Chain A
Amino acid sequence: MSGIDDCMVEGEGLSKTYRGSSRPALDGVSLQVGAGEILGVIGPNGSGKTTLMSCLLGLLRPDAGSARLGGFPVDSVQAKRLVGYLPERLRFDPWMKGWDFVAYHHALAGLPASERAADVEAVLHDAGLDRQAWGRPIRGYSRGMLQRVGLAQALVGRPRCLFLDEPTSGMDPDGALQTRARIEAFAASGGAVVVNSHQLEQLGKLCHQVVFLKDGTIQAAQRLKGEGGLGWFVEWLPLAGAAAKARAVLQGLGVAGARVGKASVQAEVADEAAAAALVAALVQAGLQVLAAGPIKGDLERFFTGEAHAVE
């Protein structure tokens, strides 16, 4: 992947073969994530996603290559000050209460005790954990509650690089939406995010770029947002007399044009906000909107073996 300014997460030629295995779990993977960017890592089970994350976090030592966070070697104390991590396997200290667990990680992060109560309350609230659960032992938490307390733990150290492994699995749709909003807000504040997930729909909405990992190598990379991104689509019904109204709406919003099909008309815009504006204008003009969403490009085809070559 090409070099980027203000790189927060950097992996260079990462390779890892587990003891007793002849097949590399990771084979020369390089990637960069800049400040304000969200990188999605997708791939089938056993493709090396978690190994990649573990190498980027310094939990595994790569056989070759190196990883840096914020410009610091990944196993340095300086790099660790920048990290927040939500693992897929939510195995926290079961005897601890939710509040105490997050407060413990606030203390481990070396943040001032005088700010602990306010910080812990803020992240628990942000993560959407029900206040009544704050004082209960973690051993009684549901999967969704564990996800929330785990996210609060990841955020409590004021990280600049957030690593999330399946952050919304087990959450109800409302919780998944909240989590997505929280991750987007984190990136908008200048943080870098790496997300492992099988949920293509979520990744398509969330990520600026996605890499497809298979057999320990990056098979393809796709930019979804920003410069070079695929943007969003809006689709509506081609009702009689609707063409003139639609044309006026598109011209009013500066949208270049639309593709007319037999059953629908589709326009493409730069991002989610532009798509929302177009949907609102079309509805106001009396048109029937069918669908809107991120243009997925090769995301789904990656899984069916039709992926394009690496950029």
Chain B
Amino acid sequence: MRLNKPVYLNTLRWFLDSPARLVSAGLMALLAWGMVGGMAHVEINGVAQGATLATPSSLAAVGNKVLVLLAWILGVGVIRREVDSGAIQLVLLRPLERSSYILSKWAALATLNLAFVAFVYLALLLRGGAGLFDADLLALAGSQAMQVLALCSVLTLLSAVPLGLGELGLGLLAAVTLLALGHYGDRPGLQFLDFVSTQGFRVLFPGVAVENGGGIASIALGGGGQVLSASSAVFNAVVTVAGLAGAMGLLARREFSYSDGGGGA
């Protein structure tokens, strides 16, 4: 199993071909640019706070929202649209392993999202946050890179599921199921459901864990809490591998025939 360069490059071109995806990515970039700039130059009661408000926690919180959103925008259809159209059959008749096809699709999706992570930190640098770059921040950057790889892996897996729901439908179904599990998790004897729900959400929406606050509110307040970069990175590495293995397993077993309308048989 190795990266197939034509599939990888063609997928990158597909991402860039859609005006809707480009506009969405541009808006997300503007949002990130504004947020990190805001962190670096917040004034409270007319007093400039400098870069002190941008902390690893606030950046982790930004990443947990913006990176997830961007990955979902870019990742919808990464495999499914080729399956639905039937175009995948011509590709799979070429001399490449199906596992290489999955790996290449994931790598293309991950490349764009990693480029966005790099952009966020570049924006922070360009907007006056140079003083923030310490060991903690670099660890966070690495952890967010792992977050992106895991997110792309989950999306690749959802895109390879042979159901007509699509990635968004499957994601929604999974989220509702996890919420329901979490709801019953506070009942005696069913506490394990809460654990399942929490871990399920971590898989479905991989992020960087922040202890003692790290949500949107913490961004405005300059973060707060401790970023758990190492544990997040390990968890996301496991999600990455499991997601890719799942997607490869689904495609390896799949049959195709044009007689049933172009999709999978």
Partners in one complex: yes
Interface on A for B, CB 8 Å cutoff?
Answer: 18, 25, 50-51, 54, 57-61, 77-78, 80-81, 83, 85, 87-89, 91-95, 104-105, 107-110, 153, 157, 165
Contact assessment for B95 and A87 in the assembled complex, using a CB-CB cutoff below 8 Å: no
| B43-78 near A? 1/0 per residue, CB < 8 Å | 000000000000000000000000000000000000
Nearest residue in B to A57 (C-beta to C-beta)? B93
Q: Is the CB of A85 within 8 A of B90?
A: yes
Which among B5, B87, B94, B256 has the highest number of chain A CB atoms within 10 Å? B94
Q: By the criterion CB–CB under 8 Å, are B14 and A59 in contact?
A: no
| Residue of B with least CB distance to A19 | B265
Q: Is the CB of A85 within 8 A of B93?
A: yes
Q: Are the CB atoms of A50 and B259 closer together than 8 Å? A: yes
Most chain A beta carbons < 10 A, residue from B89, B95, B259, B261? B259
Q: A92-B85, A95-B18, A153-B90 are in contact. List 5 more A-B contacts (CB 8 A).
A: A54-B259, A59-B92, A60-B265, A89-B86, A108-B7
Determine the residue in chain A with the shortest Cβ distance to B89. Answer: A59
Q: Which of B1-42 contact A (CB under 8 A)?
A: 4-7, 10, 14, 17-18
- Chain B residues whose CB sits within 8 angstroms of the CB of A108 once the complex forms: 4, 6-7, 91, 94-96
Check A60/B86 contact, CB under 8 A, given A18-B265, A77-B97: no
| B255 close to A (CB within 8 Å) | yes
Q: Are A87 and B94 in contact (CB under 8 A)?
A: no
Select from chain B the residue with minimum beta-carbon distance to A80: B95
What is B's interface to A at a CB cutoff of 8 Å? 4-7, 10, 14, 17-18, 82, 85-87, 89-97, 255-262, 265
- Check B93–A80 contact: CB distance below 8 A: yes
- Return 15 A-B CB contacts under 8 Å, by A number: A54-B258, A59-B255, A60-B256, A60-B257, A77-B95, A80-B95, A91-B85, A91-B86, A92-B90, A93-B82, A107-B5, A107-B6, A108-B6, A108-B96, A153-B90
| A87→B86 contact, CB < 8 A | yes
B259 contact set on A, CB distance < 8 A:
25, 50-51, 54
Q: Are A110 and B95 in contact (CB under 8 A)?
A: yes
Which B residues are CB-close (under 8 A) to A81? 95
Q: A137's closest neighbor in chain B, by CB?
A: B17
B18 → chain A, closest Cβ, in Å?
8
Q: How far is the CA of A51 from the CA of B97 in the complex (A)?
A: 22
Taking chain A's interface residues, is the majority helix, strand, or loop, or is none over half, making it mixed?
loop
How many whole Å from A47's CB to the nearest CB in chain B? 11
Looking at B10, B18, B86, the one whose CB has the most chain A CB atoms below 10 A away is: B10
Are A157 and B94 interface neighbours, CB within 8 A?
Answer: yes
Bound form: Cα–Cα A54–B89 in Å: 10
Top 10 nearest A-B pairs by Cβ distance?
A107-B6, A108-B94, A50-B259, A91-B86, A80-B95, A59-B256, A54-B257, A77-B95, A91-B85, A95-B17
- Tell me the number of A-to-B contacts counted with CB atoms below 8 Å: 83
Distance to closest chain A CB from B162 (angstroms): 12
- Write the chain A residue with the least CB distance to B87: A93
Measured between C-beta atoms, what is the minimum distance from B257 to chain A in Å? 4
Judging by beta carbons under 8 Å apart, are B265 and A87 in contact? no
Question: What separation, in Å, do the CA atoms of A25 and B257 have in the docked complex?
Answer: 12
A89 to B259, CA, bound (A): 9
A83–B89 Cα gap in the complex (Å)? Answer: 12
- Rounded to whole Å, the gap between the CB of A84 and the closest CB of chain B is 9
Nearest chain A CB to B3 CB, angstrom units: 13
Q: How far is the CB of B170 from chain A (nearest CB, A)?
A: 21
- CB of A87 within 8 A of CB of B90, answer yes
Q: Across the interface, which residues of B come within 8 angstroms of A78, CB to CB?
A: 95
Cα distance A93–B262 when bound, in Å?
13
Closest A residue by C-beta to B101 = A108
| Cα–Cα distance between A51 and B258 once the two chains are bound (Å) | 8
Specify the chain B residue showing the minimal Cβ separation from A150. B90
A91 near B257: Cβ-Cβ < 8 Å? no
Given contacts A93-B87, A95-B14, contact A88 B97 (CB under 8 A): no
The closest CB in chain A to the CB of B17 belongs to A95
For A91, give its contact among B4, B92, B262 (CB under 8 Å). B262
A104 to B90, CA, bound (A): 11
Is A80 a contact partner of B94 (Cβ separation < 8 A)? Answer: yes
CB–CB B258/A87 < 8 A: yes
- CA–CA, A4 and B82, complex, Å: 38
B262 with A89: CB separation less than 8 A = yes
Q: How far is the CB of A15 from chain B (nearest CB, A)?
A: 14
Separation of A157 and B95 alpha carbons in the complex (Å): 10
Bound-state Cα–Cα, A311 to B256, Å? 32
Q: Residues of B contacting A89 with CB < 8 Å?
A: 86, 258, 261-262
In the complex, A86→B231 CA distance in Å?
A: 50
Q: Verify B94–A109 contact, CB threshold 8 A.
A: yes
A45 to B154, CA, bound (A): 40
| Distance in Å: Cβ of B13 to nearest Cβ of chain A | 8
Q: Which residues of B contact A153 (CB under 8 A)?
A: 90
Distance between Cα atoms of A91 and B86 in the complex (Å): 6
